[in-house]
Amino acid sequence: MSADRPERARADAPRPAGEGWPGGAVWDGAGVPGPRPDAGQDPAQAPAPGPLAGVRVVELGHMIAGPFATLLLSYFGAEVIKVESRHRMDGFRRREAATNYLTRAFGDFNRNKRSLTLNLQQPRGRELLGRLLARSDALLENFSARVLPQWGLDWPTLHRRYPRLVVVRMQGLGATGPHRDFVTFGPSILALTGFTYLWNAPGTDEVVGSQTAHADYIAGVHAAVALMAGLHHRARTGEGLHVDLSQAEATAALLGPAYLEWLLLGREARPVGNTRREYAPGGCYRCAGEDEWCVITVRTEAEWEALVRATGCTEWALDPRFRDRTQRTLHRQALDAALEAWTSRRPAAEVVRLLRAAGVPAGQVKKGSELLADPHLRARGFIHHVDHPAFRPISYPGAPVRLVGHEAVTRRPAPTLGQDTEAVLRDVLGLSAEEIERYRAEEVLV
């Protein structure tokens, strides 16, 4: 991740009256932020209270990475306007049979957002986007690197026109470098960074990989943090910020130990499956029942002694192969077999209950249905239930971060394509009904 930071304004420089301020306020020249000029919008569309209340983010995003970043921002109170068109819509809108291009997958990553359809292939569409950016705090996009420059929206141009705008670009391999134009997808980034190679059992020839696009989520979190850093920078200097985020680099940053193994020891990190090389026992163990498993990790001698007591397998304490951590690591296979002989006779929930009560780190490997019914997650409000006219009520994961005093909620379900076009053009850009109809007739709003 890199950032282009203009140095024209000092942190203590005066802010001219009428210029935008963090949180979407207007600096009145007397040291007091006032409301945004379009603050009289429909209360139903107003941002919910939160640390980012009043911040407006324009999203040119699709699939997971970009939309997940702005979903996180919406939980903190930001207003997010998603710009699409029938010619270039979010790929998740087409993933399954849909009503008004609304699918369950799209509904997950695009809650709390407004949908504005603009044909950005047309100059008039780009003109309306420019007017929206002039009234916004940030732009976030995850198209391929060449798209925005093709529309005349490269960083120098954006900064010249909107000097206070925070711009986050999050391409697969970044916006610069010889491979900047490569189009990537979550699985390809996992492969490029080494995740796919390491995500396997030892001694297995076939590549397994993951069924979850971890890279998209990782990049989305980094993008949300970078955008908020940009808003803080603007508050200090009065200047916008350009963030160049490589989804591959954000993902690779989590694999430091694997890279260091080569750099420091001259050997390749190898797949180790579910085991933790430094701990024994430490892995995933079969339990009673079909496809039932639990994870157990013993880190200290105290936890080892607690494991022996909890299982009642006192013979382990007398076995010289298991007398200390070094010996247990050397005889990992024998120890894992002995432990799995004990876990496989008991339900996973019982194993976890017994070991946790004894102070041994343990967890049940849960399926999706079990997570949705998990009483702890429900008690914390992590599961959000969303009603939508396009399909029956559905449950989604909630915010991964809880800001105490600012409840992260799903304020509205994901929008149908163009659902808020007229409202945004009217309330944010101040267009009349006649102007909106003229744009519609010219096929700018498709």
**Which domains, and CATH codes, for the chain?**
2-253+388-441 (3.40.50.10540), 282-367 (3.30.1540.10)
pLDDT value of position 18: 30
pLDDT value of position 436: 98
For the entire predicted model, the pTM comes to 0.84
**Which one of 90, 108, 216, 420 is the catalytic residue?**
216
User: How confident is the chain (446 residues) per 10-residue block, as mean pLDDT?
Assistant: 49 32 32 34 53 97 96 96 95 79 91 97 97 99 94 96 98 89 83 82 77 90 98 98 95 83 77 83 96 97 98 97 96 97 98 98 93 90 84 86 85 94 98 98 96
pLDDT value of position 19: 36
pLDDT value of position 276: 78
216 is catalytic: yes
pLDDT value of position 257: 80
pLDDT value of position 78: 96
pLDDT value of position 2: 62
Q: How far is CA 103 from CA 110, 388, 396, in A?
A: 10, 11, 13
